[in-house]
Amino acid sequence: MDATLIEPRWTERDARSLGRSRPSRVQAEEAVRTLIGWAGDDPEREGLLDTPARVVRAYEEWFAGYEEDPAQLLDRCFEEIAGYDEMVLLRDIRFESHCEHHMAPIIGRAHIGYLPNRRVVGISKLARLVQAWAKRLQIQERMTAEIADTLDRVLKPHGVGVVIEASHECMTTRGVHNCGVSMTTSRMLGAFRERPETRQEFLSAIRRAHSNAEPGL
């Protein structure tokens, strides 16, 4: 369903963090004008007249995850899997998020693996699960846990593994200005935590994908 047609579904964390009604579009655009003026430019300058509206539309896209319930994305499962019980792995799910400390972009890739317990979910739903959590103000560590915990809670598989690799522009474009640095986080649940061989199979599959990738990918 088109996200513009559904009512917002807030998680408990979202409700606690807001604690108040959502500002109007007019208020949001006025806030952008204030920031433009604070930065030292004239919000009434011709080139900036439409900028507040553009920024608000960009925010609607960047933070569309607040309009989705990540758990609901996994509601439709498939149980006719002919007894398949080996690992399901989806690699290199590209995402764009924003750091909650500086609102700077976080750009990276997520890898998700799980051991089915009598049911599986469509692979596009795994990608949408990543996007639903990414398109919010985030820190990478929490996002990694949220993706894994949601998959574990809804599918109830034998195990879940999530690895995220990302670069943070709050570090590359400000502060230490350290380019070319990436951060890796992981969350292992069930068999992925308890059985070293399962965890190793998951991590080895990710590494093989990287080593076989064409230059520049």
| Rounded alpha-carbon distances, angstroms, from residue 204 to 113, 145, 155 | 12, 21, 24
Q: Which of 96, 100, 165, 201 is catalytic?
A: 100
Burial group, residue 187, by CB count within 10 angstroms (0-12, 13-18, 19+): buried
Structure tokens at 7: 């009512």
Catalytic residue among 102, 165, 169, 201: 102
For residue 177, indicate whether it is catalytic: no
- Catalytic-role residue among 60, 165, 170, 201: 170
Catalytic residue among 27, 101, 141, 200: 101
Identify whether 27 is a catalytic site residue: no
Catalytic residue among 30, 60, 67, 99: 99
Give the ranges where 23-139 is alpha helix by DSSP (H). Answer: 25-39, 51-62, 123-134
Placement of tokens 């915990």 in the chain? 149
Q: Is 140 a catalytic residue?
A: yes
Q: Is 99 marked active-site?
A: yes
Candidate list 98, 111, 158, 168, residue with the active-site label: 168
Catalytic residue among 29, 138, 140, 158: 140
Pull the structure tokens for residue 200.
């190793």
Q: Is 89 exposed, middle or buried (0-12, 13-18, 19+ CB in 10 A)?
A: middle
Residue 160 burial by Cβ neighbours in a 10 Å radius (0-12, 13-18, 19+): buried
List the one residue out of 143, 150, 10 whose CA is nearest residue 75. Answer: 150
Active site (catalytic) residues: 99-102, 140, 168, 170
